[in-house]
Amino acid sequence: MKDAITSLIRNYDVAGRYLDRNAMDDLKAYFESGNNRVRVATMITANAAAIVKTAGTQLFEDVPELLRPGGNAYTTRRYSACLRDMDYYLRYASYALVAADNDVLDERVLQGLRETYNSLGVPIAPTVRGIQIMKEGIKILAMESGIEDTSFVDGPFDHITRELSETDI
């Protein structure tokens, strides 16, 4: 798994360049935000079940047709699969959050996921909404714990939703 440091160094190495001021600023920002990223990842770990449950409840309130006959979360098996997938996205987003790099999401989660969902008839829009609900809940937890700038939380969750939502034209 890559992190912000290895990615930065790799890019400069490939270009045959020394680290410049921009690289040093990026490294400084990475280390300055490190404690908060770890704190948020710890919060996610301690509250994962509650985060997923709350997001699932909100999602099914927002899109109740998912739970109705014919909906993609209508049976217990499908409902459980939806929550399992949300937990999966949450876990990998926490890895990317700590690493400050989305490569783990691309390698372990997103490759072929949209195509798989499309082939199985799983609607992507509610999946995207569920991921965004989890992000919003995590940001609230972070703010309640005293982290003022929670913008770093957006990255992994927005990356997942952007990649799931993209379509080739």
Q: What is the pLDDT of residues 7-41, one digit of tens each?
A: 999 999 999 999 999 999 999 989 989 999 999 99
Question: For residue 146, what pLDDT is reported?
Answer: 96
Domains of the chain: 34-165 (1.10.490.20)
Report the distance separating Cα 12 and Cα 17, nearest Å.
Answer: 5
pLDDT higher at 138 or 123: 138
pLDDT tens digits, residue range 26-80?
999 899 899 999 999 999 999 999 999 999 999 999 999 999 999 999 999 999 9
Q: CA dist 153 to 17, 66, 82, 135, Å?
A: 31, 28, 22, 7
Q: Which of 3, 12, 24, 47 shows the shortest CA–CA distance to 145?
A: 47
Question: For residue 168, what pLDDT is reported?
Answer: 46
pLDDT band at 166 (very low <50, low <70, confident <90, very high): low
DSSP state letter for 147: -
Mean pLDDT for the chain overall: 93
Report the distance separating Cα 86 and Cα 74, nearest Å.
Answer: 16
Question: For residue 169, what pLDDT is reported?
Answer: 42
Q: Which of 125, 154, 137, 157 shows the shortest CA–CA distance to 54?
A: 137
